[in-house]
Amino acid sequence: MITSSIAGQASNKANAELRVARLLVARLTKDGSPWQAPVLTAADAKSERGIDCTARDGVGRELKIQVTRVDHDAWKKLAHSPSIHDVQQTNQVVDAIWHAIEHKRSHAFSDVVLALDATDSLAPALRSVVMAFRAKYASRAAQICFREVWLVGPSVRLVQRLT
């Protein structure tokens, strides 16, 4: 069982996306793939592919990042209450991660990294949850056409690759 509490307002969408991209880039750089600081992309309906942020490396390659929250329901509840408290089984959190990935299937491209935002709601970023996710859904998630899928927690230590 995982007990969690969230209080306050959800982060501004653009700020949250940039925060997630920065954490992801910091993790990739720590792992030996140096990227420059990410920037938000401008929404363009004609070329929209779900890319929220981009980063470049030293030779000009581009890292395209699509960001989505794992737990949309929590933020809807928080809009009507100053805080929420939840108790879930690990499998429920694992399934929520899968549903977040599945929800983005129509925006999956082989050159886009999907970054799942767990910076404000920590439960999905717990290592035990990530391990359970990998055991249950890793092969299915890998079949969705993203370059990679990352779970981005509130610190670089909690940025974990799912596929």
Q: For the residues of 26-65, what is the DSSP string, one character each?
A: HHHHHTT--BPPPEEPPP-TTT-SS--EEEEBTT--EEEE
Model confidence pLDDT, tens digit, residues 81-123: 777 777 889 999 999 999 999 999 998 999 999 999 999 888 9
Q: Which residue has the tokens 């993790």?
A: 27
> How many helices (DSSP H) and strands (DSSP E) are in the chain?
4, 8
For the chain, give the percent of residues with pLDDT over 70: 89
pTM of the model: 0.90
Picking from 138, 10, 152, the residue whose alpha carbon sits closest to that of residue 82 is 10
Are 149 and 134 in contact, with CB atoms under 8 Å apart? no
- Is pLDDT at 21 greater than 50 in this prediction? yes
Q: Which residues contact 116 (CB under 8 A, 6 or more apart)?
A: 68, 69, 70, 97, 100, 101, 124, 149, 150, 151, 152, 162
pLDDT mean over 15-37: 96
Q: For the chain, which residues make up each domain, given as ranges? A: 2-161
**CA–CA distance, 24 with 4 (Å, rounded to integer):** 23
